[in-house]
Amino acid sequence: MRLKILTAILLVLSTSLGASAQPRADVSIPSSQRVIRWSATFEKNNLTAGPAAMILGPQRELSLRVTVNMPYGQPLLGWERGLESVDAVVEREGGLVPVLIAVSDVYGTSDPRLNKGEILNFRLVLKLPDGGAFGDGRYVVTVDMQPFLAALKELDGSVWVGQAQLNAQRLLVIKTPATVDERGEFHFSEAADAAMRHNDAAAIDHYLQGLRLLPERWYEYLSLGRIYVKQRRYAEALAPLEYAFSKWVKSPARQETRGFPVPLATTLIALGNDARALEVLRAEASSEGEARRIFEILKLRAKK
């Protein structure tokens, strides 16, 4: 792989991209308003290992969520092309790790222009060329956004001139789970990741394995039950959702988790137990009228 010289300086593209051959940007906009901010974080992070993220278990891919924000300035073109050239360098114990790089799950704007105040999000996915897994060790991942920034253009076609961080290093520790707690956390993390990718079968399997190890993690029963509800497997959803509900009503965090009773109420309605569904909804509703209003909405959904 090509190793770039990575520096943490402010970007001034007009001098590095042959600005003499390019139309000049409107310099009437103050440089303080020509700023692009971005961040990159690992999507998985089971535990904190000092300044590093920690993932339990070998990983077929490393994925980072990159967020780009332009708080000031005029709309810019070229971001779609720029995504094709976002780069990354992976090191492990001082040596380079060759990786394949892909960008996916882009959202935040469908406009070819990146407008002021919009937030662009995408996944940066890193895989080993041989299809193997990233094993135990300490990794340094340097995300290089210079190619993305170099692709940005003003509406008149001129090169964007402004300030932005060129690259950022992220530290990651991958560790084989050794304790019961770590093995349980591994399965819950893998389950959440699989659910996010709509791989319901893998998510269910990992939730079940994790709950066998850590049965006290009642919130994970809710996550499992939601997947069953999504698949309309209401008979299987009932037990985990009832258990999660019984713990939730006694939890100090009850006021911070709005909507908790809805999956269970949906399941009970589907199974024909309307009375119990209303009882569940009353646990959160501020009034009888609110509980009945939510109940009627869920009944209408059940008929679709």
pLDDT band at 181 (very low <50, low <70, confident <90, very high): very high
Instruction: Give the mean model confidence (pLDDT) for residues 120-142.
Output: 95
d(CA 103, CA 77): 18
Instruction: Give the mean model confidence (pLDDT) for residues 92-111.
Output: 90
Domain ranges of the chain: 13-175, 236-304
pLDDT of 105 > 50? The answer is yes
pLDDT band at 274 (very low <50, low <70, confident <90, very high): very high
What pLDDT was estimated at residue 253?
A: 76
Q: How far is CA 287 from the centre of its chain?
A: 36
Instruction: Give the mean model confidence (pLDDT) for residues 80-101.
Output: 94
d(CA 192, CA 204): 10
pLDDT band at 53 (very low <50, low <70, confident <90, very high): confident
Quickly name the fold that domain 13-175 has: Immunoglobulin-like (2.60.40)
Residue 173 to residues 7, 89, 259: CA-CA distances in angstroms? 23, 16, 35
pLDDT tens sequence across 191-223: 998 998 899 999 999 999 999 999 999 999 999
Contacts of 157 (CB under 8 A, 6+ apart): 22, 23
Helix (H, G, I), strand (E, B) or coil at 96: strand
pTM above 0.95, yes or no: no
What pLDDT was estimated at residue 33?
A: 60
Cβ-contact 209, 170 below 8 angstroms: no
Instruction: Give the mean model confidence (pLDDT) for residues 104-108.
Output: 90
